């Protein structure tokens, strides 16, 4: 059995832009013809995608940030992450930028950890999570944070403790939960099965986000 997702596309008989935020996302309404000939209406949150970083130090600790997330009204512990809404930006460069801007760290070793769709029943958001190792404090002044990022605590957490927090239901950020579990599995195998940082990513969105798309 070839256990792999594969591309597929049902016919779209009609598609309209239901909402343009002018910021990150749009909402599109598609009329989709199903294999039995019936038609279903599906609302799609169109998203530019994002990258996340699971940074591990030499003591097997993972770098987490605490950030307020208004839709769920929670302070969530998360890894560094960011949108791919800079037109033409390479995802690895974006991940390196987020590690620097959000935590003021750099890393000399980068690999692909996982590629995921965050909620494929409602959005096309695709995320690539990198594993960053050989981590050290970045040079120069810290990036000036704004909005919810202004007061983010930064914490190095033992990987085993982070896994326990995920499995006990105390951590909920999807990049964090998936990335932490994947990093623990990768460590068990000696990091032998990781893909290179420039591995192909056909699921990566080419859409630049609502602000750029409607500029």
Question: Domains of the chain (ranges plus CATH)?
Answer: 12-46 (no CATH), 50-196 (3.90.79.10)
Query: What pLDDT is stored for residue 167 in this prediction?
Result: 98
Q: Compute the distance between CA of residue 105 and CA of residue 4 in angstroms, rounded to an integer.
A: 34
In angstroms, the Cα distances linking 84 to 4, 33, 127 are 25, 31, 9
Residue 32 tokens read as 């989709």
Report the distance separating Cα 116 and Cα 128, nearest Å: 7
Q: Please report, for residues 5, 78, 138, 147, the alpha-carbon distance to residue 144 in angstroms, rounded to integers and kept in the order given.
A: 40, 19, 14, 10
Quote the pTM value. 0.94
Residue of 42, 64, 39 whose CA lies nearest to 53: 64
The answer to whether residue 149 is catalytic is: yes
Is the Cβ–Cβ distance between 154 and 128 less than 8 Å?
A: no
Q: Which residue in 86, 89, 101, 149 is the catalytic one?
A: 149
The string of pLDDT tens digits covering residues 24-65 is: 999 999 999 999 999 999 999 999 999 999 999 999 999 999
What pLDDT score does 193 carry? Answer: 93
Q: What confidence tens digit (pLDDT) does each residue in 140-178 have? A: 777 666 656 667 899 999 999 999 999 999 999 999 999
Nearest to 81 by CA among 140, 152, 5: 152
Predicted pLDDT at 140 = 79
Q: Are 198 and 101 in contact (CB under 8 A)?
A: no
Kindly state the average pLDDT of the residues 107-112.
98
Place of tokens 């579990």: 181
**Contact criterion met (CB below 8 Å) for 143 and 44:** no
């Amino acid at each position: 059995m070839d256990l792999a997702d594969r591309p597929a596309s049902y016919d779209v008989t009609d598609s309209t832009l239901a909402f343009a935020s002018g910021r990150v996302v749009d909402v599109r309404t598609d009329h989709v013809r199903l294999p039995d000939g019936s038609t279903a209406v599906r609302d799609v949150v169109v998203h530019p995608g994002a990258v996340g970083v699971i940074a591990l130090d030499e003591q097997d600790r993972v770098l987490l940030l605490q950030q307020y997330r208004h839709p769920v009204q929670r302070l969530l512990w998360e890894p560094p992450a960011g949108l791919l809404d800079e037109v033409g930006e390479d995802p690895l460069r974006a991940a390196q930028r987020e590690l620097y801007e959000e935590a003021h760290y750099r890393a000399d070793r980068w690999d692909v950890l996982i590629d995921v769709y965050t909620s494929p029943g409602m959005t096309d958001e695709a995320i690539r999570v990198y594993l960053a190792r050989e981590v050290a404090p970045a040079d120069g002044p810290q990036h000036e944070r704004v909005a919810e990022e202004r007061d983010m605590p930064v914490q190095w957490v033992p990987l085993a403790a982070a896994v326990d927090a995920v499995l006990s239901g105390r951590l909920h950020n999807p990049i964090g939960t998936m990335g932490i579990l994947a990093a623990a599995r990768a460590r068990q195998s000696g990091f032998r099965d990781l893909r290179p940082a420039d591995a192909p990513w056909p699921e990566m969105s080419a859409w630049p986000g609502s602000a750029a798309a409607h500029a």
